[in-house]
Copies of this chain bind each other. A is one copy, B any other.
């Protein structure tokens, strides 16, 4: 869909970092006027709704520098260059939780902040989990705390703000629907 397309007139890369890039584009609007768009480029990420045989949701607690606080999220991680998102998801689930899933299905993808960033999260459902004996280690600058909680506990964490990000909020509603059906 290209409705109301904004044609790039000039694109300037202002930062080319380890994870993100910053571009500032001058665009031509549908009425011929010009506007500036500040755009963050991100490699994309995966997130995993992992459910144990006792219908508990697997969550990770970690400090998020951008928010200056710890939050509780579903396991997630960035896609490495040329990595297939499903492979990323399987890898991140193992690295962050020590679990491997015998049932692994794609749910859907969504953009997290379409107003300024191209980050897409690909969401997977992991069931029939088993503990991996010697799980692969995660990023060395990542400190996480593993949790397993019921739907009711997750809803409580959403209400008190410990769960505080869009993908995990989506996941809580998703499993509420799933466990009912």
Contacts and interface: CB of A to CB of B under 8 A. Distances in A.
Interface of A: 1-6, 14-15, 17-20, 22, 24-25, 27, 29-31, 33, 35-40, 42, 45, 61-67, 69-71, 73, 76, 78, 108-119, 121, 140-141, 143-145, 158-159, 161-162, 164-170, 173-174, 176-177
Contacts of A45: 115
Copy number in the complex reads 2
24 contacts: A1-B61, A1-B162, A4-B145, A15-B15, A15-B38, A19-B115, A19-B116, A30-B143, A35-B141, A40-B66, A64-B115, A66-B111, A66-B116, A66-B117, A67-B111, A67-B118, A71-B111, A110-B164, A110-B168, A113-B166, A116-B119, A117-B117, A166-B167, A176-B177
Contacts of A118: 66-67
B112 A112 contact: yes
Contact of A114 (B3, B19, B25, B73): B73
Given A70-B3, A78-B115, A110-B169, A38 B62 contact: no
A181 to B, nearest CB: 11
Contacts of A40: 20, 40, 66, 116-117
Contact of A110 (B30, B39, B165): B165
Contacts of A14: 14-15, 22
A161 to B, nearest CB: 8
Nearest to A45: B115
A143 B2 contact: no
Residues of A contacting B: mostly: mixed
Residue of A2, A19, A169 most packed against chain B (CB within 10 A): A169
Contact of A65 (B25, B67, B109, B173): B25
